[in-house]
Amino acid sequence: MEKAFTVAIDGPAASGKGTIARAVAAHFGFAYLDTGLLYRATGAKVAEGMTPVAASESLSPQDLQRDDLRSGAAGTAASKVAAIPEVRAALVAFQQGFARRPGGAVLDGRDIGTVICPAAEVKLYVTASDETRAQRRFAELSPSDPDLTLAQVLQDLRDRDARDSARATAPLKPAGDALVLDTSHLSIDEAVAQAVAAVEVGMS
């Protein structure tokens, strides 16, 4: 496929959207962008002393390869800088250009289907129960943080959801025409199969 074809995948943290997005991109041979890394990398540069706007305007591909972007602190920083309109404006054009590259693209984030790519050919909103998401994130983070508790992870997720859903600019919500995929009781293979089927329908 040489023409542009965009798959927008949104959803809250630890819903499985990243795993599904990477699998869909690999299945169809599409380019993949974890847009959350843009905000995590911006937040990391802010933590090192840059202003949020300068950090977002100076991002390079190397910044997205940092080893600390998956930490809980980076996630919290990302959510905070994402609420700044000037930061969002600096990153939107990057995402939109990536989305319309020839050969197809999969982008996952929180506002891809609603704001970044409202004309995307396929839109998915991946979600799961708070408890399921907390268990997943706890399993991911606890090996490197033995003092972490499941209750802390659950509260952090709920706090982040509240910030992301309540922000005035591009709040977290499904696009009106998005397929909602609840992964609470699905295996990875089952969730990916449903997503692949949705993309195939969009391509037909």
Question: Is 13 part of any known ligand binding site?
Answer: yes
Is 41 one of the annotated binding-site residues? no
How many CB atoms are closer than 10 A to CB 170?
19
Separation CA 148–CA 86 (nearest Å): 34
**CB contact set of 181 (below 8 Å; sequence gap of 6+):** 20, 124, 125, 126, 127, 191, 194, 195, 198
Q: Does residue 17 have a known ligand-binding role?
A: yes
Instruction: Strand 179-182: give its sheet, edge to edge.
Output: 31-34, 105-109, 6-10, 122-127, 179-182
Does the annotation place 12 within a ligand binding site? yes
76 is in an annotated binding site: no
Cβ(148)–Cβ(45) below 8 Å: no
Question: Which tokens belong to 153?
Answer: 């992870």
Binding-site positions for ATP read 11-19
Binding-site positions read 11-19
